[in-house]
Chain A
Amino acid sequence: MFGIMGATLLLSLREIRRHLLRSFLTTLGIIIGVAAVITMVTLGKGVTASIQDQISSLGSNVFIVFPVRAERGTPRPFKQDDVDQVAQQIAGVVVAAGAANSSATAFHNGQNWTTSVNGVNDSFLQAQSISLTQGRMFTPAEETAGQNVCILGPKVLAAIFVPGVSPLGEEMRLNSVPCRVIGVLEERGEGGGGQDQDNVVMMPLKTVQRRFTGNDKLQYFVVKYDASYDSKVIQNSLVDLLRQRRFLQDGQDNDFNIVDTAQVNQALGAATGALTAMVAAIAAISLLVGGIGIMNIMLVSVTERTREIGIRLAIGALAREVQLQFLTEAVVLCCLGGMVGIALAFGLSYGLSAAVDVPFAFDPTINVMSFLFSAAMGIIFGYYPARRASRLDPIDALRHE
């Protein structure tokens, strides 16, 4: 049986080579379909990876807790005591750290620059896995005393400091508050909420509360928990504790919100996954159209080669052998199209990933699946023409001109 399979395969390749242009045009649908599906999925995966990267900049295993407006009035802010109680009472919490934010104009060297001022302590930087490129973080003494020291975001540094000269130890001013630069943040890009995380100046929490916001309120706080704990359990304890501390009765809504970075990650992943699947499905339609093109040309081929089919039947070919021959030709055509499509997709997704600045997420699974799918197209759309060929009457077929 191998003899006839090998010979059938060889014959298919010969037929395809004989009509090279026609074969190419016929498979163009498959080529474009395969290339489109793979490119879309690869790009989608790249975008997902890029988003996940941004979210992980918020720190992993982190809740962000912020007050929201309840029935009426302004949101009730958190105090340092809330944060301390969270850290003490809830098992599994590694760090809880609050932040107070304001905005200010930074002055240095005769230049000015509008930026936001984040009042945070070291524990906050740790919870969010923020690191520095130069200098150091705040000392406990600086935090307790609320000293005028600051860590610059890279954009602030670039805007008002002399390039190439170390800013460490330099004095600058935020509005009317003087401060000494002790460190520079690493570049973090856009945050999960779209805010620029590089145009920022960080100061000890107490300093910001005293000199900028003028109160002891926290805008929000972060809770980093041990990954070995169930995030749901910790979240529930957190809700219970905060409701108790904020004297909420049963039936009253929470006047705070807890964002779980893992959940956000999951939700965004699901959203981009669904989008990718939809775009890939649309691309798959062109594969289907390509399959119809294959069927069309195979029917033409069967008609053109009616006499050949007659000869083969007369010398004793079985119906299924004739069917196999044409089916093989359709499948080989589709597989070749699939291979060209994969090569095209590789180039396209590589180029486009670079163009939209997402990682090139080459996925072997989608490549293999697309290839198998195009082969399946050959079987599905080659079946009818092949069956038609095998059902020809040898006498009529031999008479065919």
Chain B
Amino acid sequence: MTDAPLIELEGITKTFGTGPAAFQALKGVDMTIDRGDFVAVMGPSGSGKSTTMNILGCLDIPTTGIFRFRGMEVQALTRDQRSLLRRRYLGFVFQGFNLLSRTSALENVELPLLYRGESKARRREAGLRALDMVGLVPWADHSPAELSGGQQQRVAIARALVTEPDVLLADEPTGNLDTERSIEIMQLLSELNAGGITILMVTHEQEMASFARTIVHFRDGVVERVETGHRAGTPVGGRG
């Protein structure tokens, strides 16, 4: 189990629609991701990178092919089983932050723990710890509307981290941020990766991808090329 890769994709295809309107977004993707890796998925729009991320995030299942996560064949699981998988092992960060408005930063961070059935005290404690990791404890009681974009994304990262997931999936996490904030977010992700968490990130910006260890390039529904051992350090700072 420990020597098996964390994630294995074998001959993944994904077709949307049926008949003449059918569109094949993925045409046979093979990929392996090891525990502790920091993978950036790149490619032009329509290349299949988002579809791949949705499958890796257990939000969607492939039309054909095998997706193994921790040795489990995800494509054979039911909707609720995949929900439980996400709840237990995955954390999500989205381009649009996707925080619940009208609820405080802390409540947003606590949300995944609610579905784990944690007590209020446990939720609060873990929520504050996660906010501390992204440096936002002083903003715990603020609503998303009162936070800057960079702060909102850090709340979203805290929400993804609060369950101590195996994998953090980030879909264009810097897409809505200026360069300075983007680099802060990437530094944060690098630190988290250094702490042991596996990160899968979709981006179209080379500068952001350069923080990753592995860069997977998609084109026309297949993996075009993979750059490995890309970095040990980061262009600007990162971990020491």
Contact = CB atoms under 8 A, between A and B. Distances in A.
Interface string B31-66: 000000000000000000000001001011000000
A320 B119 CA distance: 20
B77 interface: no
B84 interface: yes
Interface size bracket, A side: 20 to 34
A4 B115 contact: yes
A321 B79 contact: no
Contact of A316 (B60, B112, B118): B112
Nearest to B57: A314
Given A18-B102, A307-B98, A315 B118 contact: no
Contact of A313 (B83, B85, B159): B83
Contacts of B115: 4, 312, 315-318, 321
Contacts of B99: 311
Contacts of B119: 3
Contact of B86 (A316, A319, A320): A316
A3 B59 contact: no
Nearest to B95: A398
Nearest to A313: B83
Contact of A3 (B84, B91, B100, B118): B118
A3 B80 contact: no
B98 A398 contact: yes
B54 A395 contact: yes
A316 B58 CA distance: 10
B83 A316 contact: yes
A313 B118 CA distance: 18
B114 A7 contact: yes
Given A1-B117, A3-B119, A315 B59 contact: no
A321 B111 CA distance: 13
B165 to A, nearest CB: 10
A287 B83 CA distance: 38
A394 interface: yes
Contacts of B90: 316
Contacts of A3: 114, 117-120, 123
B117 A308 contact: no
Nearest to B81: A318
Interface string A106-118: 0000000000000
Contact of A319 (B57, B79, B116): B79
Nearest to B51: A395
Contact of A314 (B86, B100, B102): B86
A3 B94 CA distance: 27
Contact of B92 (A7, A18, A314): A314
A318 B84 contact: yes
A246 interface: no
Given A314-B92, A315-B112, A14 B59 contact: no
B84 A311 contact: no
Given A4-B115, A395-B60, A316 B79 contact: no
Given A315-B112, A316-B83, A319-B79, A14 B118 contact: no
Interface residues of B, number: 31
A316 B114 contact: no
Contacts of A320: 80
A398 B94 contact: yes
Contacts of A318: 80, 83-84, 115
A394 B86 CA distance: 12
Nearest to A394: B59
A14 B143 CA distance: 15
A315 B79 contact: no
Most buried by B among A1, A308, A321, A394: A394
A1 to B, nearest CB: 6
B92 A315 contact: yes
Nearest to B119: A3
A360 to B, nearest CB: 44
A314 B86 CA distance: 7
A1 B88 CA distance: 17
B176 to A, nearest CB: 14
B204 interface: no
A314 B60 CA distance: 11
Contacts of B59: 314, 394-395
Contacts of B116: 316
A395 B120 CA distance: 29
A308 B87 contact: no
Contacts of B114: 3-4, 7
A81 to B, nearest CB: 89
B153 to A, nearest CB: 14
B83 A14 contact: no
Nearest to A7: B114
Interface in B121-173: 123, 159
A350 B212 CA distance: 75
Contact of B111 (A14, A315, A394): A315
Nearest to A317: B115
A316 B117 contact: no
B95 to A, nearest CB: 10
Given A1-B117, A307-B98, A312 B111 contact: yes
In the A-B complex, list the 10 residue pairs whose CB atoms are closest, starting with the nearest: A316-B87, A316-B86, A315-B112, A318-B80, A394-B59, A311-B98, A318-B83, A317-B115, A314-B92, A316-B83
Given A313-B83, A314-B86, A318-B83, 17 more contacts: A1-B117, A18-B102, A311-B98, A311-B100, A311-B111, A312-B115, A314-B92, A315-B111, A315-B112, A316-B86, A316-B87, A316-B88, A317-B83, A317-B115, A319-B83, A320-B80, A395-B59
16 contacts: A3-B114, A3-B117, A3-B119, A4-B115, A311-B100, A314-B86, A315-B87, A315-B91, A315-B92, A315-B115, A316-B84, A316-B88, A318-B80, A318-B83, A394-B59, A395-B59
Interface of A: 1, 3-4, 7, 14, 18, 307-308, 310-321, 394-395, 398
